[in-house]
Amino acid sequence: MSPALCALLLHFLVGCGERALPAPAVNSREFLPQQPPAVRWVFRTGGVVGASPVIADGTVFFGSWDEHMYGVDALTGTLRWSHHLEGGTAAPPLYTPTALICASLGGALLGLSPETGEELWRLPLPEGAPGFPTISGGVIYIGGESGLLAIDTAGGTVLWSFGTGGPVTAAPAVHSGTVYAACHDGAVRAHDASSGRIRWVFQTRAPVLSGPAVGDGDVFFGSSDSCVYSLETGTGDLNWVFETMGPVTASPVLSEDLVLVGSVDNRMYAIDRESGEEVWRYATDGWIWSAPAVVGGTAVFGSYDGCLYAVNIQTGREAWSLHTEEMIHSTPAAAPGILCFGSLDGGLYALEMPTP
């Protein structure tokens, strides 16, 4: 799904999914923040960089809407290789030592050499334009326009498929032999990882674009009905529901005893994992579409106001913020000494991060 299509979808969802906010919270931006990290380099592409980057073995791998996947030197920002992807990609690549797995919006999975970008294999997908893939135990789990697929990475064969009532775009979560997949029909389904058999289904009131996160026997996700949900992994029973004022398209991130999740109501929330109570919220001036990265005690995330924010995980206070020229759609990626993120201005940014 292109950024333009996503924006149109959310314009509709905001109008039909608003909720009253819970109790008021401290405005975290009243505290004096630090100076943002220095920009080490910026790599410019010919299209918006909406997909999240991946850093491995000294290389930053990322896709652009100029229909290319790139491998860029993490220290210098120098291009190592580029590879044409038909239709571009909305998903971050999956890194393995033998292949960089890319989901092309042209309707194929590709395995590229991490060193050279050479195409090693290509697998056409029967589900058309793919969603975000997940790899576990040598199997790729990926959604499409009408269902979920499990693909053997060794032979490239489809192990099983499951038809749904709408597209599956968010990355599935795999834990203890179960695949948790969110769907635009408003459901989150738990599948047996080996057979695809349904274990349970939980239905929300609107499309679910948020990828599930699993931890300590619970699965967490957001819905376009403006709610964040916690379910028991084994049964799908509801633990709690947390209401925001806008669709929740961002995938949650678990950090210690907190669930960190952004909303189209322009806020990042920290929710107690056990009780579902709000711990803090941080307000920006734009939609928060993607998940935060947890870096050295801070949650680092982008906003559609063009800023990258770093917020203390325990207090919700701003540590620093950095302004770019366009909206930030991607989740940052961190490695020792560096943090990278894409912007809709067509650039991939690398920031100098202090090494502990």
Whether 64 contacts 47, CB under 8 Å: yes
CATH topology (fold) of 32-87+290-351: Lipocalin (2.40.128)
pLDDT by residue for the chain (356 residues), tens only, comes to: 443 344 334 333 433 333 333 333 444 445 556 888 999 999 999 999 989 999 999 999 999 999 999 999 999 999 999 999 998 898 999 999 999 999 999 999 999 999 999 999 998 887 677 899 999 999 999 998 889 999 998 777 889 999 988 899 999 999 999 999 999 999 999 999 999 999 999 999 999 999 999 999 999 999 999 999 999 999 999 999 999 999 999 999 999 899 999 999 999 999 999 999 999 999 999 999 999 999 989 999 999 999 999 999 999 999 999 998 899 999 999 999 999 999 999 999 999 987 65
Q: What is the pLDDT of residue 214?
A: 98
Number of C-beta neighbours around residue 23 at 10 A: 7
Q: What is the DSSP string of 134-165?
A: EEETTEEEEE-SSEEEEEETTT--EEEEEE-S
SS3 for 47-107 is CCCCCCCEEECCEEEEEECCCEEEEEECCCCCEEEEEECCCCCCCCCEECCCCEEEEECCC
